[in-house]
Structure 1
């Protein structure tokens, strides 16, 4: 065997030995490169995955927009269920403070949210939309209401929200700004109640939110009035401190504040904060 041939044989043996060593390492576990590239993705998925039921307590005026957002959130998180409790913000806050199990609270005023944060039920709420009042009247506006002062007309029946709930507090502010003094025939516990009175023909008008007029445009008309600018309501949202589904609460709040969430809310007539 020549010197050149001997060297070639030694090199071949060395290559075979190295290949065998690599094969042995590979057979004892997963391939290092594949494990390194997949581990971060798997960890991120496990950390960000939302599951179970997310329970949201929200102001009645958010019913249409949040119902739509809930369906979109469920579609983006297969297997997740979003349940809602819509009502007057003050009543919802009282339920939360009394221990009602909920993950998220969306109120129609910062003052109402404060009753929950003061009780340590939530921290760091964020204002995500604003809303203004309109006068809701039956289709065609049979009483020809054109201004806020018209609500004080003789014989006119008006529904307002109770002053304890945000829509009622906003109505009081707007009426004061317009120097309008009226006695409502009914005080409702949430804005949908005031709106229903108009739908049923039980009153001639009510003060509700612009978003409620828009959502019910097939049954009622809305009359804008300048004094509404003095009674704009900010809507805060927060995950609750004792949320049974903390991860779901955080994810839902983030979704509401996302570009897609803002698009749905804007389409419903809400204003950006």
Structure 2
């Protein structure tokens, strides 16, 4: 074999070895990439993104503050939508125990929340996030010069109260009893907003509502404090429901409500810290 032939054969073998080495390296790189790809989704699955609709059943007195927090929640979690159902806590609790689909329940009293937890419809223990106290709402300027609960018994004065079965009505009855006041209203309303609306529409001369509702009404009504309200403060509990269609979003919404920002919105609306 000539020297030229030997040199040619050596070059051919070297080229083949290099090609094999490149192929082996590419295969190893491919396997490594495949392993990294598998790890990605696994890591992502551990921290799921909040999305979809979260349905919140909440006491009527929470309407303004929760609506504000709902907008903040949607802005913080693009693609989400918060749907609220506001009303009397007892009616909402009955709907939940009756099978109505919802993710979160925020009640205006522990007693109402107990209806849901005792029925086994809560995902865990409820937590108190705010408190609320009563005021007497009057027309602007307080034309009847109401200064106390006893003044509500003035002859000819028309008063609206919440129904005794809802938290604001139960608290009002407790305050009336503490003050030794016997009052027969012209109307018992199913939630606090309805009682306030009676006043705004001038169908009554006064209404016993929450301080937060007086704040929310702005200049449409005036508020009168009375000492008996201090002994009739309602605590507001909140909970994720057991069969929540969107439990992850429910927990995230409750986290916002209980956060520093949530507390700021609620206290600015007139709620008391728990």
TM-score by length of 1: 0.87
CA distance in 2 between partners of 1:24 and 1:36 (Å): 17
Residue of structure 2 in register with 1:240 after alignment: 241
SS in 1 for 2:218: coil
The Cα offsets for residues 140-170 of structure 1, whole Å up to 9 and x where unpaired, read as 1110111111111111111000000000000
SS in 2 for 1:72: helix
Q: Flag structure 2 segments of 5+ consecutive residues without an equivalent.
A: 1-17
Alignment of 1:1-273 (within 5 A): 25-26=28-29, 28-30=31-33, 42-44=44-46, 47-122=47-122, 123-273=124-274
Superposed displacement of residue 27, structure 1? 5.0
Which ranges of 4 or more aligned residues in structure 1 deviate by more than 6 Å? Answer: 19-24, 34-41
SS in 2 for 1:241: coil
CA distance in 2 between partners of 1:100 and 1:37 (Å): 39
Residue of structure 1 in register with 2:10 after alignment: none
CA distance in 1 between partners of 2:99 and 2:41 (Å): 40
CA distance in 1 between partners of 2:103 and 2:273 (Å): 24
CA distance in 1 between partners of 2:107 and 2:265 (Å): 17
SS in 2 for 1:217: helix
SS in 2 for 1:238: strand
TM-align CA RMSD = 2.1
CA distance in 2 between partners of 1:139 and 1:223 (Å): 11
SS in 1 for 2:75: helix
Superposed displacement of residue 26, structure 1? 3.4
CA distance in 2 between partners of 1:28 and 1:100 (Å): 50
CA distance in 1 between partners of 2:170 and 2:201 (Å): 24
Q: Flag structure 1 segments of 5+ consecutive residues without an equivalent.
A: 1-15
Residue of structure 2 in register with 1:11 after alignment: none
TM-score by length of 2: 0.86
Residue of structure 2 in register with 1:7 after alignment: none
CA distance in 2 between partners of 1:197 and 1:243 (Å): 35
